[in-house]
Amino acid sequence: METLCNYTHPDLQNTTALARQPTGTLFPYNPDFYDLASGLYGPGNICTWYFLFASVFLHWLTGPRDADGHTHPGISADLIAVVAYPVFAATDLLVQGIKMIGTEDRALAIFCVRNPIVELEGMTDAFTQHEPLDMAGIPEEVVHFGQRVVDITGPLAVCYIFVDVSVVLAISLISEDILREYIPWRPTKMVRRFLFAGYGYVSLLLVVFHFSLGDVGISFFIALYEIIQPFLNAVTFGTTLVFGGAIVVGLVTGVVGIIRRDPAMMVDAAKVVGGMSIGALFPAFMITMTILNRVAIVPDLAVTITERDQLASLIAGILTLGEHAALELAI
């Protein structure tokens, strides 16, 4: 079913006879591809999951400390939710992967849907189409196959995000004696076992899923891209937050200096804004490349943040993080 990759490449989509629909980014002219997509992996639910992650780390960082300055977080509802979501996603992923066993070129199709801009000539001989295809005449079997592939990208993305974060967290737990000056938390044994069990379960099911695809080479590239992308997104978000925040602080300081007529304060503010503006070129470049390469921050499932269930989940996540932040600050 290599023809699905031909239809996913943006440069090979002839949409002259179609009207753009407000659904999805990869197939905006063919909303049928999203008929099986689940809102469970929509932007509202995934952002709420991010907020729960932040809530857990906030508690670990600011909780009560012992004489050595370490926190000892235990099991919490937020932590259970943070692990339960990818555990369910991994189970869902494996079930869908098993259902697709026997389907030709399923691994390549998943890679194409997740990375439509990547050139395939150096990776496989299956991609032979170089002329634009009529998106109004997509064969029914290709649409049906595409629906299943789009649906499977939701749990796939969630699993790899969790694996990436868990690897960093596991390193911090294993190396806490070496990095004791930099890592303030010392979770209880129950928390450690819970986290390692969740990480092991998700990792195991990912391995089984990749072998079920029947193409080790393409599976490797799927894993490689899925592992790298969350780190790049985190770096982009983090640097944007740091440089953007520093520029705002510098501007506020400059305004205060003008009001107070303090030349030294104005000069310092100008230095901060100038230096951070140069540094902000890096996240600006990262954001530009993200847009040009059509990298999705969340899975492309034609689910929007404004849908009621997604919006409700997002608000719940924001309120949960806000409540925990307020409680920690009040202690």
Share of residues in the chain with pLDDT > 70 (%): 91
Does residue 242 form part of some domain? no
Expressed as residue numbers, the domain containing 83 is 3-228+300-330
Q: Which pLDDT does position 87 carry in this prediction?
A: 96
List, in order, residues 6 or more apart from 280 with CB less than 8 Å away. 240, 243, 244, 247
Q: Check: CB of residue 133 under 8 Å from CB of residue 6.
A: yes
Does residue 216 form part of some domain? yes
Q: Summarize pLDDT for 195-237 with one digit per residue, the tens.
A: 999 999 999 999 999 999 988 889 999 999 899 888 888 888 7
pLDDT band at 293 (very low <50, low <70, confident <90, very high): low
Does residue 209 form part of some domain? yes
Per the structure, the count of domains in the chain is: 1
Q: Which pLDDT does position 2 carry in this prediction?
A: 44
90-104, 150-164, 307-321 — which is least confidently predicted?
307-321
pLDDT at residue 37 is higher than 70: yes
Does residue 241 form part of some domain? no
pLDDT band at 133 (very low <50, low <70, confident <90, very high): confident
What value, to the nearest 5°, has the Cα angle with vertex 249 and ends 243 and 253?
145
Q: Which pLDDT does position 240 carry in this prediction?
A: 84
Higher pLDDT, 106 or 123: 106
Share of residues in the chain with pLDDT > 90 (%): 28
Specify whether the backbone of 300 is left (phi greater than 0), alpha (psi in -120 to 50) or beta. beta
Q: What is the mean pLDDT of residues 318-322?
A: 85
First to last CA, the chain: 58
Q: Which pLDDT does position 128 carry in this prediction?
A: 52
Spatial CA neighbour of 115 closest among 210, 42, 218: 218
Does residue 256 form part of some domain? no
Does residue 293 form part of some domain? no
pLDDT at residue 274 is higher than 70: yes
Does residue 261 form part of some domain? no
Q: Which pLDDT does position 155 carry in this prediction?
A: 95
The pair phi, psi for residue 71, each rounded to 5°, is -90, 155
pLDDT at residue 267 is higher than 80: yes
Output the pTM of the full model: 0.83
User: What CA–CA distance (Å, rounded) separates 46 from 43?
Assistant: 5
Does residue 274 form part of some domain? no
User: What CA–CA distance (Å, rounded) separates 266 from 253?
Assistant: 7
pLDDT band at 1 (very low <50, low <70, confident <90, very high): very low
